[in-house]
Amino acid sequence: MKKELLSPVGDKDSLIMAVLYGADAVYLGGKNFGARKYASNFDNKELKQAVAYCHLYGVKIYVTVNTIIYETELKSCLTYINYLYNIGVDAIIVQDIGLIKLIRQYLPQMEIHVSTQTSVHNIEQIKFLESLGVKRVVLAREMSLKDINDLKTNLELEIFIHGALCICYSGQCLLSSQILGRSGNRGECAGLCRILYNLNKDDTPIIKNKYLLSPKELAVFSNFAEIKNSKVISLKIEGRMKSPEYVGYVTKIYRKLLDDPNYTLSEEEIFNLKSLYNRDFTKGYLFHEQDTNLININSSNHQGVIIGDVIKYSNKYITIKLNHQLNQGDAIRLPNNEGMYINFLYNQKKDLINKGLAQDIILIDNKVNLNEIGPVYLTINKELNNIIKKEAKRQIPLTLKVIAQINKPLQIIYKDDIHEVQEIGPLVESAQNAPISKERILQALTKLGNTPFIITEIDENIMDNIFIPISVLNNIRRKLIGKLTIKRTSPKNQFLTINFLPPKPHIRSLKEFKIAVLARNEEQVITLLSLNVDIIYVTDLKIYKKYQNSHIYLKLNRIMPNHPPYQNENLLIGEIGGLKYQKCNNIRTDYFLNVANSSYVNLLQDMNVESITLSPELSDDNLQYLMSNISPTAQVEFIIYGRLELMIMKYNFFKANNLSYQNNYNLEDKQHHKFPITSKNNTILYSPAPINLINKIPLYQKMGINTFRIDLFEEDSETIKNLINHIRKVIN
């Protein structure tokens, strides 16, 4: 199958750039339900216009609906998706599994692509999603190309090939949510991976003021041939928050690489890519990049590209020796990490100039109090941006057919790769005086002006010595272009209006409540057994086997490249691939599944899941509304105490920083939050302090929550006993 180049669109200008520079498809968001809430995005009217614009050029358009959906939003979200279907959107990109279930129920014709926010990284997840009727999965950025090629599936596969990376598995990050109340699962990520941290061992700083969680930019142009030969269908560029010029140029580069098997980037093109945006480049996990080459600990923003060095400074001027052209209107970053626009540029005589060339020595005003020498980085390339805007062009090839025979109606046809339109004109007459030439007829019919069409093939049967008024030809040309434009841009879907009927609210009346506790070591398990705790989750298989009984469950990793053949076990699963175990095991689901609405709860209940842990991101109001809409028999769990796992990373933090892993490491931000960080199968970052919602238990009991969950960390036996006894008193 032909590979698809998929470009990011954050606003109208980026849409134009993506299309004109050769995208096969674009992805963009509306004003709600998208994972890039702070991009400009598109309102409903603008979405309709965007669909028409894309379809005019034969470009597909995918709209992101890739947040978790709260119960209160189900109706409005489905109404929105209904609108997207009716205006002809080619597919929607979805994170929430409960929403997928509802789309399949109410709009089965809608094509669904599963977002990278669902963190799909194994074949069992893909099989489950295939059973829900999705067409494509956007794979986790942590997968290697080899692992992707080993997947045996009929679903279309999509990967990111260029742009920003998340250090955490997408859809599995609670850092921004728990610290600032801005959920990455709701499109509100505050980018806390991009800030400065200290690494502490106990309370002693080991590394100070570095961007310890900030990944470089993904760029795979040097390995593109391997991607072209892979199972991947769609090649995705990240960048809905980036400039239109960035979108256009990156699309242009990968279009060339995709179309020409012998094409390699020039030094100038790599320079241009870096000047448009980079945090330094990495090949990422696709090509097994070393952990030491994934993070840029010195910068979290666009660092630009070196164009020279400061060789002298004074209070008034900064003197720079250039190794690349610098233009008035460019922006640079100086050795003190300050950025500035070049409003005035001087030669060594202090005459104003509009540009300096490589090897020139130039002066700029010292507006940033620079008092050191060092490299100068170009961060905005004005000339390149102007060229990108000027050269944006894409034309739609047409075949023109003309039949002009005396005493027969004039017949003119325009044909693209799919559609054909024709007009029958007046009878063709013999010329009485000055005949119209064949060349003049064809000139009138191929003069397509500012339209996106171009005639690339002509099939004509035109007699000599005939007369056709130019006005007739011009009028027919305009009519045909209008007809063809309508055919290309009109929605192909049959108009549908769905009527979503939300569940009728009811009160869940419960008499029995349970306590579930996650234990992280054997001492904690022994203590919990002595306290007769209802449910115990353990993270170690040996401990699980040693104390195995009906109350103890093995907590599986939420990152599962492979699934061991468990049978007749008690399992707590943390990713949707683990649902395969429900056929021959007792399973409960962890909060990492991001369950936030009744549709998802009902789906899991229908699969005989024993108990469902809800998302810790649910507010009391959202929790109340959800609980009133789920089945009276659904067993629901909610975490009330413990350190949440805020991030899970494939990135081996300790190896990358030349440390042997031990306990008692933490990352400390400028607000002095200290996040414990551990590394076993994956690197995990924990909340700086336990959440504590114990005082809300009576409220949650009234809502109908069955089980109250505690996640232990390093608590000793005495602390655990006090904690459990306190919770039991509150429950009773």
Place of tokens 């005495």: 718
pLDDT, tens digit (0-9, with 9 covering 90-100), for 103-151: 999 999 999 999 999 999 999 999 999 999 999 999 999 999 999 999 9
Q: Decide if 80 contacts 92 (C-beta within 8 A).
A: no
pLDDT, tens digit (0-9, with 9 covering 90-100), for 155-171: 999 999 999 999 999 99
Q: Are strands 197-201 and 204-210 parallel, antiparallel or unpaired?
A: antiparallel
The CATH superfamily of 514-643+690-731 is Aldolase class I (3.20.20.70)
DSSP 617: T
Bridge partners, residue 237, by sequence: 162
Dump the DSSP string for 212-261.
TT-B-EEE-GGGHHHHHTSS--EEEE--TTS-HHHHHHHHHHHHHHHH-T
Looking at residue 453, what is its pLDDT? 97
Burial of 686 per CB tally in 10 Å (0-12, 13-18, 19+): buried
Q: Which two tokens stand for residue 200?
A: 């502490």
Q: Decide if 122 contacts 562 (C-beta within 8 A).
A: yes
Question: Per-residue confidence at 676, pLDDT binned at 50, 70, 90?
Answer: very high
Residue 229, pLDDT > 80, answer: yes
The stretch 385-401 carries a mean pLDDT of 96
Torsion, Cα 66 70 72 74, to 10 degrees, reads: 40
Phi, psi torsion values for 246, nearest 5 degrees:
-60, -50
Bridge partners, residue 570, by sequence: 586
Length in residues, the chain: 732
pLDDT, tens digit (0-9, with 9 covering 90-100), for 547-597: 999 999 999 999 999 999 999 999 999 999 999 999 999 999 999 999 999
DSSP 556: P
pLDDT, tens digit (0-9, with 9 covering 90-100), for 406-437: 999 999 999 999 999 999 999 999 998 889 99
Helix pair angle (717-731, 522-530), 10° resolution: 40
The stretch 454-464 carries a mean pLDDT of 96
Looking at residue 481, what is its pLDDT? 97
Bridge partners, residue 5, by sequence: 235
What pTM did the predictor assign?
Answer: 0.94
pLDDT, tens digit (0-9, with 9 covering 90-100), for 607-662: 999 999 999 999 999 999 999 999 888 999 999 999 999 999 999 999 999 998 87
Average predicted confidence (pLDDT) for the chain: 95
pLDDT, tens digit (0-9, with 9 covering 90-100), for 687-706: 999 999 999 999 999 999 99
Question: Per-residue confidence at 270, pLDDT binned at 50, 70, 90?
Answer: very high
Q: Which fold has domain 305-391?
A: Elongation Factor Tu (Ef-tu); domain 3 (2.40.30)
Q: Which two tokens stand for residue 595?
A: 């369950």
Bridge partners, residue 234, by sequence: 4, 158
pLDDT, tens digit (0-9, with 9 covering 90-100), for 56-76: 999 999 999 999 999 999 999
What is the layout of strands, in order, in the sheet containing 420-427? 420-427, 409-415, 396-404, 453-462
The stretch 223-234 carries a mean pLDDT of 96
Q: In angstroms, rounded to a whole number, what is the distance separating the alpha carbons of residues 118 and 67? A: 10
Looking at residue 35, what is its pLDDT? 62
Q: In angstroms, rounded to a whole number, what is the distance separating the alpha carbons of residues 255 and 310? A: 37
Residue 375, pLDDT > 90, answer: yes
Residue 206, pLDDT > 90, answer: yes
Question: Per-residue confidence at 40, pLDDT binned at 50, 70, 90?
Answer: confident
Q: In angstroms, rounded to a whole number, what is the distance separating the alpha carbons of residues 414 and 398? A: 6
Residue 89, pLDDT > 90, answer: yes
Question: Per-residue confidence at 511, pLDDT binned at 50, 70, 90?
Answer: confident
The stretch 451-480 carries a mean pLDDT of 95
Looking at residue 433, what is its pLDDT? 86
Quote the percentage of the chain above a pLDDT of 90: 92
Q: In angstroms, rounded to a whole number, what is the distance separating the alpha carbons of residues 470 and 437? A: 11
Domain boundaries 4-165+215-280, CATH class: alpha beta
The stretch 14-26 carries a mean pLDDT of 98
DSSP 266: -
Query: Bigger pLDDT: 541 or 663?
Result: 541
Place of tokens 């005019």: 56
Domains of the chain, by residue range, sit at 4-165+215-280, 305-391, 396-489, 514-643+690-731
Q: Decide if 580 contacts 148 (C-beta within 8 A).
A: no
Dump the DSSP string for 604-638.
HHHTT-SEEEPPTT--HHHHHHHHTTS-TT--EEE
Question: Per-residue confidence at 10, pLDDT binned at 50, 70, 90?
Answer: very high
Residue 338, pLDDT > 80, answer: yes
Tell me if 305-391 shares its fold with 514-643+690-731: no
Residue 362, pLDDT > 70, answer: yes
The stretch 33-44 carries a mean pLDDT of 78
The stretch 388-403 carries a mean pLDDT of 96
Place of tokens 């959920």: 183
Q: Which two tokens stand for residue 7?
A: 């470009």
